[in-house]
Amino acid sequence: MKILVLGSGQLARMMSLAGAPLDLNVTAYDVGTKNIIHPLTGEIYAQDLQASIAEVDVITAEFEHIPHDVLELCCQSGKFYPGKQAIKTGGDRAIEKALLDESNVPCAPYKLITEKSHLIEAVALLGKPLVIKTCQAGYDGKGQWRLKSDDQIEQIWSEMADFIATGTDSLPHTIIAEKMIPFCREVSVIGARDKQGNMAIYPVTENEHTNGVLTLSIASEICEKIQLQGESAFKKLATKMDYVGVLAIEFFDVDGTLMVNEIAPRVHNSGHWTQQGCASSQFENHMRAVCGLPLGSAELLRPSAMINVLGQSSIPTQVLTTPDVLSHWYGKSQKPGRKMGHINISAPTNEALAQKLESLAKVLPEEDYPGILKAATLLRS
């Protein structure tokens, strides 16, 4: 079976690797160069998008911000999963919030902003501090502001107005203000839904962010109440969208109550640990779902963690001397802060995983790999 992935980054790469044992052959569409390429070798094929759409059996995506003409063309083929509405929802926070409200899934109180008076109303309605985000084009902490006092309104509005002005009638740019939630931790749930509505949901994962970028994720034994809330939100949203594929939902844990931060209609960074911690990774289950194959198990086999490699061209060789530690590289050129790869770690118990993280912290400096010792402490709590 042939699959075309919209986007040619590391997620397409890992989908290709997961699909190969299932005899699924993946090509990728680079939306920047408009080339059809091999996601592992980078080989460019002498074929345009329309020809590729006609040739493949299934089309999917590795990211949300797909040009509308490309998305429309793929959807017209009847081969695209998870579907146009799901991709649009993941790429626009205003649509996302409407979906959460319609599905009765809790999120932070919010107000949409297109003019200065809306910002002033948001301050009065929601109070301070506010988290302000672009509804489109924001990721990894970009396109965000924190409003803590009234004397920031003029400067923040000036920057917001510049963003809004770049929109068009057909593609307007909007902004959303959210009440800042005093949360205990950030967690995510990732699951897969197939064409018949069957679901496989992974354990809730605890995530550590630094400057808005995910640096580390841990999957271990989780409170049943938290797991049930995460599963409930997944089932409601996936069913509402008639979703096919892997869907990720990021939450704030507010004293044992989960509130959605955002959703991602794709495989997700916080699920990379599934490559080692489960019988079927998120990448394999996404491929299974969109290709009409039975879903694999999402049960946690052993406590696992993922450490992002950000801006580093290599990792110390000592890392790979630790049992059950594997590295995954993305084949990218080095840039500061860029996601270059990740390290997966697993162990039979929480205590054993904590010990491995402590060992890794001795060779992975805190300034480049923040939060490793903190994660070890959490595993023991």
Query: At 57, which CATH number?
Result: 3.40.50.20
Please report whether residue 196 resides in a domain. yes
pLDDT for res 138: 55
Domain that holds residue 158: 109-179
Please report whether residue 146 resides in a domain. yes
| Residues 51 and 123 both lie in one domain | no
| 251: nearest Cα among 192, 199, 284, 209 | 209
| Residues 157 and 238 both lie in one domain | no
pLDDT for res 162: 86
As for how many domains the chain has, the answer is 3
- pLDDT < 70: residue spans in the chain: 137-142
pLDDT for res 142: 57
pLDDT for res 165: 85
**CATH number of 340's domain:** 3.30.470.20
pLDDT for res 98: 94
Please report whether residue 92 resides in a domain. no
Query: Of 164, 179, 194, which one is at a domain's C-terminal end?
Result: 179
CB 332 within 8 A of CB 310: no
Please report whether residue 88 resides in a domain. no
Query: Of 126, 150, 179, which one is at a domain's C-terminal end?
Result: 179
pLDDT for res 168: 78
| Residues 350 and 203 both lie in one domain | yes
Tens-place pLDDT, residues 225-266: 999 999 999 999 999 999 999 999 999 999 999 999 999 999
For residues 217 and 15, give the distance between their C-alpha atoms in angstroms, rounded to a whole number.
Answer: 20
Say how many CA atoms lie within 13 Å of 371 toward its Cβ.
20
What residue has token string 């793929």?
Answer: 74
Report the DSSP beta bridge partners of residue 345: 305, 325
pLDDT for res 171: 73
pTM above 0.85, yes or no: yes
pLDDT for res 223: 87
